[in-house]
Amino acid sequence: MAQAFTIISARFPRDLSATDDTSGGPEGADFALAGSEVAWNEAGLPSRHRTIRTWIALWPDRDAGRRFLKRRVENIPLLTQAEEWWSGLLLPYQSHGDLNWHPDGKAASVFHDLGPRPKSSRPVFVLTTLGIGNPGEGMIAFGKGTRAVRQAFSDLPSVILEQQLLPDDQRLDAPTLSLWENEGAVISAAYRSEPHRSAMKVADHPDLARGSFTRMTLLWAEGSWEGVNLREKGAVGG
């Protein structure tokens, strides 16, 4: 049975402190990660945006993920204070590379049981990670490249939303998160267009330890983000 992935992202009227989120790790998940939004300045350095918080988790099957989302407020009481939020149930279908989402520093693939490739008209969610081995020139180049890519992607009509999560535990790899109208749009932007084609070359820098990308089918979504009704995008059902 294919694994399922969930995301919950929320915007708050104030900066959150480390003690505001009391949710803890979700029971039954293969792994879970939470953190704040991150922005990269012109110098390639990151800063947290503590008004936006995101929770992601991988589940043994879609039923487990759906149950968690349907009880999201009970599981994450902080959501009652959100000004805006969205949640999604996703089915990973393609994954390459390793990522460090283990506190012991062990890098490995976490997506093992993949689902089928979606129809060409289905929305596709993309998760990418890049592990920093040495916080030097490679990290700066990565930061500058990420800034340019995120600015470019935010202007594309095929991008429904784009975010990045800086984990609370900064030893863990920070994922970029984007939702696209379809897989064809992902391939065109990632491999045929700038600035992403140039940014991909940064992965070869010796300061960078590892990288990964995972594509997922959007099965179901609720809420809105920056005025976009995500329920309409996920109306295909899970």
pLDDT digits (tens, 9 = 90+) for 47-92: 899 999 999 999 999 999 999 999 999 999 999 999 999 999 999 9
pLDDT value of position 195: 62
More confident residue, 184 or 144: 184
- pLDDT higher than threshold 70 for residue 197: no
Rg of the chain in Å (alpha carbons):
17
Reported as half-sphere exposure (CB side, CA atoms, 13 A), residue 215 has a value of: 17
What is the distance between the alpha carbons of residues 176 and 161, in angstroms, rounded to a whole number? 11
Q: How far is the C-alpha of 88 from the C-alpha of 140, rounded, in Å?
A: 32
**Would you state the structure tokens that stand for residue 137, as one six-digit string?**
């020139």
Q: Where are the alpha helices (DSSP H) in 23-155?
A: 62-70, 72-75, 137-154
> Residue 118: is its pLDDT beyond 80?
yes
Which band of pLDDT confidence, cut at 50, 70 and 90, is reported for residue 203? low
At 205 the pLDDT is 67
pLDDT at 238: 44
Kindly list the distances between the CA atom of residue 14 and the CA atoms of 17, 20, 81, in Å, as whole numbers in the listed order. 9, 11, 10
Terminal CA-CA length for the chain: 14
Mean pLDDT score of the chain: 87
> Could you state, in order of their start, the residue ranges of all structural domains in the chain?
4-233
- Tens of pLDDT, residue by residue over 128-161, are 988 777 777 767 777 787 777 777 787 889 999 9
Query: pTM for the whole thing?
Result: 0.89
pLDDT for 27:
92
Percent of the chain surpassing pLDDT 70: 89
Q: Given CATH 3.30.70.100, say whether it is the number of domain 4-233.
A: yes
